[in-house]
Homo-oligomer: A and B are copies of this chain.
């Protein structure tokens, strides 16, 4: 059967890595569409325009496929904020802003990808993969963010605990992702990545008014 609409135009001779990436992306689409529990290898095969056999061939098992997807997402996430922070002006405000706003880079984060993330969150109970793959990365980001917050608190004389503030911003980021991910379901009050960006900027301005301005004012 010739390639489906989802095939991305790759022929039968795609290299090993290209094919794996193609399957990872198909899995993300299915995860967003059906959730973790309802995802089957056959669904992924169909979404990729390939057969079920080839998935097991490349990934050994369904669990390993899903672990590869999570690994891809985690690395992409890490690279995305790392690079955003590196590219930012060399002052704590710009760095912190880059760190927390990187999560809403529309080039990287479509609702589909966020929905895939939420699906993994929901399944992190009882499965050690999530922790194994994400715990270190998460911690590093929290530590970096807290350092920037501390600099701002010290230089701006804010009455804030930098640890608590970073945890608040981190939690808000997760919550906004959830809202974006559920936007596909038509839930009331759900958001676009652009709106999230605005909400996050407004929050930065609330916590650090002498370093950030309310957006749009």
Binding site for B on A (CB under 8 A): 31-38, 115, 118-128, 130-131, 134-136, 138-139, 142, 159-161, 164-165, 167-168, 170-176, 178-179, 181-182, 184-189, 191, 195, 198-200, 202-203, 206-207, 214, 217
Q: Are A36 and B36 in contact (CB under 8 A)?
A: yes
Given the known interface contacts A138-B189, A160-B206, A189-B139, the answer about A123 and B167 at a Cβ–Cβ threshold of 8 Å is no
Task: Specify which chain B residues have a CB less than 8 angstroms from the CB of A182 in the assembled complex.
Answer: 121, 124, 130
Q: A35 CB to closest chain B CB, in angstroms? A: 4
* Given A168-B172, A171-B199, A175-B172, A125-B206 contact (CB < 8 Å): no
Given A122-B36, A124-B182, A131-B185, answer yes or no on A191-B167 (Cβ-Cβ < 8 Å).
Answer: yes
A101 to chain B, nearest CB (A): 14
Partner of A199 from B123, B134, B164, B202 at Cβ < 8 Å: B164
Instruction: Please judge, given known A-B contacts A168-B203, A203-B168, whether A126 and B34 are in contact too, CB under 8 Å.
Output: yes
Closest chain B residue to A140, Cβ basis = B188
**Interchain CB contact under 8 A, B202 and A168:** yes
**Cβ–Cβ < 8 Å partners of A195 in chain B:** 167
Nearest Cβ on chain B to A205's Cβ, whole angstroms: 8
Determine which of B115, B127, B161, B187 lies in contact with A202 in the assembled complex, contact meaning CB atoms within 8 Å: B161
Closest 8 CB pairs of A and B: A122-B122, A171-B175, A37-B37, A174-B175, A175-B175, A139-B188, A34-B126, A172-B172
> Are the C-beta atoms of A138 and B168 separated by less than 8 Å?
no
With contacts A33-B126, A125-B35 known, is A171 near B176, CB below 8 A? yes
Q: How far is the CB of A37 from chain B (nearest CB, A)?
A: 4
